[in-house]
Amino acid sequence: MTPLPSTAPTLAEQVCQGNVRAIARLISQVEREEPSAQAEIAALYPHTGRAHIIGVTGAPGTGKSSLVNELAKELRRRGKTVAIVAVDPSSPFTGGALLGDRVRMRDLAGDKGIFIRSMASRGRLGGLARSTAGVIKVLDAAAYHTILIETVGAGQAEVDIASAAHSTIVIEAPGLGDEVQSIKAGILEIADILVVNKADHPNSQRTVKSLEMMLHFGSTRQMVRHHGEMMLADDGHALTNATNPDWEVKVYETVATASQGIDKVVDALEAHLVYLQTSGEWHEREKVRGRQEVEQLLQALVLRQLQATVSPVEREQLIAAVAEREMDPYAAANHLFTHLNH
Amino acid sequence: MDERKIRILIAKPGLDGHDRGAKVIARALRDAGMEVIYTGLRQTPEMVVEAALHEDVDAIGLSILSGAHNALVPRIMELMAEADLNDVPVFLGGIVPEDDIVALKAKGVAGIFGPGTSTDIIAEKIRERVLGERV
């Protein structure tokens, strides 16, 4: 007699029904990269693609957690359910992490329309953890309207968020040394919305003016993509995010700890969402996200294949040869690579 | 490959005025390779259990200095049972008189660490309890 199929709902099914325990459990499986997670993600993938994914990045000390806390409160007031993923750095020496972002979000406690998950970066350097993309899918399938991702905040190399999110907020704060931290290459350019937090600081106007000046003088890039086609940008045009020439990046001032200026930022987020959906940029962003993720997964597969086909002993012998100058690194890498193709 | 990472919630339920001790423990556990979710001061039992639920933690460490452990700990364990979190071990630190230790352990508290307990021992006990049961 054939056994009856199990009638217990799968994790993926429970996630789509909004079961909080299942959501948390599946996120853990995704984070631990358990083989079972792949099947669950595959099952819930058709239910993703609806959430508005918002990245919040900026140097440490700019007030990211406080801003995320305030944005979530305002979004809730406007009837949206909100999931928050807060990423903090793992110690490169011990592998451990102190995940303290929940401390700033006590206002959100007890609200069933909010889900908060802390993640350690686990060695990844771009501002997000390797499994953050998978975690976002779980929350998307669980039907949260908005997913706020708060990045590690190393500041300068935080490029992960730009391809993981639909809308990226870059936060600055006055009095942190350099006039404008985010002008350091890469960060200013990824912003869809710029926020100067701690705007009650005496130097805040200098920071605001510096940013506005940068925006006024235009993009350093000569070519921008417009509806998928490369075009020359006008000189002296308002700085637009290099891939979204129709969206004007503006500076907003907030004092997150006093709940000031938050409504305007949320208005801007809503406006950006409308822009993405009406301009076709939403689809472009989804392609960027998809490409990024597939490439990442592929790299992980190749590495795993390598580890499976080349013995650690042989690998260590090669490394020793490289260290002893008996073999150069290129030769060693090529040698390992040829093993992959067998 | 990677050893399984332990995620532990360190919470300060009740009205303690400072969290120096909890922070020492949090940092020590991080240095022992764990991922520590720290809640900050003045948590209600509901907030502690909500955090444990969202974060799907492997263990909970409660730090209570105020003497309110006899009220707070059973309430937290009650809420955990309601949230189907019975399999998550609860450890207690802070100021806990000898007389209360037996009763709390009978309620299911996995370990009680008084002031001055070596953080290495704490990390080891947590690891034993979490990973030992994974086998």
Contact with chain B for residue A123, Cβ under 8 A: no
Residues of chain B with Cβ-Cβ distance to A117 below 8 Å are: 54-55
Print the SS3 string covering A246-300: CCECCEEECEHHHCECHHHHHHHHHHHHHHHHHHCHHHHHHHHHHHHHHHHHHHH
Q: How does pLDDT run across A161-201, given as a tens digit for each residue? A: 878 899 999 998 887 765 666 565 467 778 899 999 999 99
Residue of chain B minimizing CA distance to A110: B47
Domain shared by A191 and A164, yes or no: yes
For chain B, percent of residues with pLDDT exceeding 70 = 96
Where residue B122 falls among pLDDT bands split at 50, 70, 90?
Answer: very high
Roughly how many angstroms between the first and final C-alpha of chain A, as a whole number?
43
Domain shared by A324 and A261, yes or no: no
Residues of chain A with Cβ-Cβ distance to B83 below 8 Å are: 21
Give residue A258's pLDDT: 95
The residues that bridge with B38 in the sheet, in sequence order, are B10
Domain shared by A142 and A162, yes or no: yes
A260 is a domain residue = yes
Considering only CB atoms, B36 lies closest to which of A99, A109, A307, namely: A99
A interface mutation test: which of B27, B50, B88 has the most A CBs within 10 A? B50
A214 is a domain residue = yes
Is residue B100 over pLDDT 50? yes
User: What does the alpha-carbon distance between residue A241 and residue A257 come to, in Å, rounded to a whole number?
Assistant: 28
Alpha-helical (H) ranges within B1-135 are 20-31, 45-55, 69-82, 98-106, 119-132
**Residue-range definition of the domain harbouring residue A26:** 9-47
Where is pLDDT greater, at A83 or B18?
A83
Cβ pairs bridging A and B (under 8 Å): 77
Domain shared by A164 and A232, yes or no: yes
Listed residue (B69, B59, B54) closest to B105, CA to CA? B69
Domain shared by A146 and A256, yes or no: yes
User: What does the alpha-carbon distance between residue B51 and residue B55 come to, in Å, rounded to a whole number?
Assistant: 6
Give residue A222's pLDDT: 39
Contact with chain A for residue B100, Cβ under 8 A: no
Q: Which of residues 300-319 of A touch B (CB under 8 A)?
A: 307
A21 is a domain residue = yes
Where residue A338 falls among pLDDT bands split at 50, 70, 90?
Answer: confident
Q: Are B53 and A98 a contacting pair at CB < 8 A?
A: no
- Report the CATH architecture of B7-132: 3-Layer(aba) Sandwich (3.40)
Q: How does pLDDT run across A57-107, given as a tens digit for each residue? A: 988 888 999 999 999 999 999 999 999 999 999 999 999 999 999 998 989
Max CA pair span of chain A: 79
Residues of chain B with Cβ-Cβ distance to A24 below 8 Å are: 53-56
- Per-residue DSSP letter, A327: S
Give residue A239's pLDDT: 44
Domain shared by A207 and A243, yes or no: yes
Total of domains in chain A: 3
Give residue A232's pLDDT: 46
**Size (chain B), residues:** 135
Contact with chain B for residue A32, Cβ under 8 A: yes
Domain shared by A193 and A301, yes or no: no
Considering only CB atoms, B56 lies closest to which of A24, A98, A100, namely: A24
